[in-house]
Structure 1
């Protein structure tokens, strides 16, 4: 009898990508929520020349601006399509496709959180948006954190879903799996099909995969002080079965000022939401939960922090 040797990491990677394909396509289309009947307004679309990129953007609605940042391999609609109409009823919603994603062509530059954060800030300048709320998921969550760190004057409030500030925040199984990903593994997934339809140069797919692998494999070791320095009120969101350890998100929550006895101290500026029965790829499918939490958090007025010296009255 022939013995078949399975590589458990590669097998897990294939199962992971299969689930991504399912969650990005059939499950999302089958999802029914209370907001799906809301009509999406007309979009203003365009390309902004920022930092050597021609970054694709869409703008919906009017009001307090909110910038939505998608995850790796995604497009703006793959990540946020179910939320745009509801958010744009009372807000100006800005979506952008990051370097090498969707309609934004790649350039000769690594994909890093710092570069993407600078791109977001430059896009806001291009659109004459002085300050906005920022909501980022996964890769977009890491980018949102860096926008708040590198361009604090641009951020009113911050919502970060399923993101880390240090590599150890991810489960070790995920870190081992990343090296086994190949461009061919995405064949017939909704992500690859959408990329082929939208990308200015569909042949750049292998380069995108390699750059995103490098992004994940490069040790992420942002200082705790960088997170502690974020002044914008921040909501952290995580699935209880996410690829990120809940302990890591709680640690970040404490760095942002959370984890106090609010009955005595009052509510801190930081918020923490752990979604039950939710995986990493499932976070953005919990539309009803997200829309029940995020707008109320964003709608609370921001109060200026005043530092009082010892002995000052």
Structure 2
């Protein structure tokens, strides 16, 4: 499969891979923040199977397949280990890379991620199977797809396949999260689709700060952005870019 990607910026530190959200692409997921991140490092922005520039193939859309494709892309680019920033579905792919391809990951930034569907607000996915492709016509995601996809008529198939993925969301056990080796930064909007309590729980599983422990900063970070919804997280570049840059640079042996 041809895996579309763009490379921006340069630098001696470990490259950063950007993985977009469902039905989205590089532009709608990272158009605002990408230039800031690329000021200090090499950034590799990828588009997953059936999304925007990357064509579809005859297989279902799964987080497992997406993660394997990212590893394949790193192999093609001769990148041994990379940091990864994923948003929404892309964060689930990044988490899968951290738990199942740990040797290819340096640090993780997971924006709007839950390790099981109980982390989402109750009822969030009710009615998702009634979603029709035309319901999204005119949205920024649909417009980006029409501009970039090799077959603009494939939108309906993409939406149909995504509904199957939504009905079979990936799940990690608390033990799998707890044993994640990569230092991880969790990002959430205070009006996000993921419950804040779930993000705090995940933060604790990853070895986040313990109340009363003033011995030092944990390897894991938690950032909850005020006045921010799920879809506006990618627009918070002024807040996120310096936080992400500091987190990725801290104690980076490849910097």
1:61 aligns with 2:9: yes
What is residue 132 of structure 1 aligned with on the other side?
82
**Aligned residue among 57, 63, 75 for 1:113:** 63
Q: CA offset at residue 163 of structure 1?
A: 1.2
1:224-239 equivalences in 2 (<5 Å): 224-239=174-189
How big is each residue's C-alpha offset from its partner over 1:156-207, in whole Å with a ceiling of 9 and x where there is no partner? Answer: 1100000111011111221103122110101122211221221111222111
Query: In angstroms, what is the RMSD of aligned CA positions?
Result: 1.4
Q: Which residue of 1 is the match for residue 172 of structure 2?
A: 222
d(CA) in 1 for partners of 2:140, 2:36: 24
TM-score by length of 1: 0.77
| 2:204 corresponding residue in structure 1 | 254
Instruction: For residue 265 of structure 1, report the CA deviation from its aligned partner.
Output: 3.5
Shift of 1:128: 0.7
The 2-side partners of 1:143 and 1:55 are apart by: 15
Unaligned stretches of 5+ residues in structure 2: none
- Give the whole-Å Cα distance in 2 for the aligned partners of 1:182 and 1:196: 17
String of CA shifts for 1:31-52, please: whole Å, max 9, x gaps.
xxxxxxxxxxxxxxxxxxxxxx
Which whole-Å deviations, capped at 9, do the CAs of 1:108-146 have from their partners, x for residues lacking one? 111111111111111111101111110000000000000
Task: Work out which of the two has the higher radius of gyration on C-alpha atoms and give 1 or 2.
Answer: 1
- Separation in 2 of the partners of 1:286 and 1:197? 24
Secondary structure, counterpart of 1:91 in structure 2? coil
Indicate conservation of the 8 Å contact 2:63/2:170, yes or no.
no
Q: Is the 8 A contact 2:53 2:149 kept in 1?
A: yes
- Give the distance between the partners of 1:57 and 1:300, measured in 2 at CA: 26
Instruction: Determine if contact 1:262/1:268 at 8 Å carries over to the other structure.
Output: no
**Structure with the larger RCO, 1 or 2 (CA within 8 Å, 6+ apart):** 2
Q: C-alpha distance in 2, partners of 1:104/1:283?
A: 24
Question: Cα 1:79–1:300, aligned 2, differ >3 Å: closer, same or farther?
Answer: same
Contact 2:192 2:230 in 1 (8 A): yes
**What CA distance in whole angstroms lies between the structure 1 residues aligned with 2:200 and 2:126?**
23
Q: Within the alignment, does 1:177 sit opposite 2:177 as a pair?
A: no
Distance in 1 between residues matched to 2:100 and 2:132, nearest whole Å:
32
Q: Secondary structure at the match of 2:251?
A: coil
